[in-house]
Amino acid sequence: MSHSELYTELDRSAYTNALAKSSPITKTFFALSALIISVSAPTFVVPVVVFVICTILVLSLAKVRARLYFNLFVYPTYMLALSCIFLALFFGSGATLLEIQFPWFTWSIFKSGLSMSITTFLRVEGALSCLFFLVLTTSITDLCVLLRRIRMPQVMVELSMMIYRYIFLFLEISEQMSLAQTLRLRRSGWLNHIRALSMLIGSLFIRVLDQGERTLAAMNARGYDGEIRILEDFASPKKLALLGIVIFDVLLVILLFLTLNIGVI
- Give me the pLDDT at residue 231, please: 65
Give the integer Cα–Cα distance in Å for 156 and 234: 21
Cβ–Cβ < 8 Å for 250, 32: no
- How far apart are the C-alpha atoms of 168 and 206, rounded to whole Å? 17
Q: 76-120 pLDDT, tens per residue?
A: 899 888 888 888 887 777 777 777 777 777 777 777 778 888 888
Across residues 209-229, what is the average pLDDT? 76
List pLDDT tens digits, range 247-262: 999 999 998 888 877 7
Q: For residue 264, what pLDDT is reported?
A: 64
DSSP 236: P
**pTM value surpassing 0.85:** no
Instruction: Read off the pLDDT of residues 159-197 as tens digits, 9 standing for 90 and up.
Output: 777 777 777 777 777 777 777 777 776 556 677 777 777
Cα 18 to Cα 29: distance, rounded to the nearest angstrom: 18
Kindly state the helix (H) or strand (E) to which residue 55 belongs, with its residue range: helix 45-56
* CA of residue 264 relative to chain centroid, distance: 25
Angle between helix 239-258 and 24-40 (nearest 10): 10
- Neighbouring CB atoms inside 10 A of 130's CB total 24
Q: Which carries the bigger pLDDT value, residue 33 or residue 93? A: 33
What pLDDT does residue 3 have? 58
pLDDT digits (tens, 9 = 90+) for 35-88: 999 888 888 889 999 999 999 999 998 888 888 888 888 888 998 888 888 888
Give the pLDDT score at 250.
93
Are 14 and 138 within 8 A, CB to CB? yes
Q: C-alpha angle with apex 212: 206 to 214, nearest 5 degrees?
A: 105
Give the whole-angstrom CA distance, residue 180 versus residue 248: 51
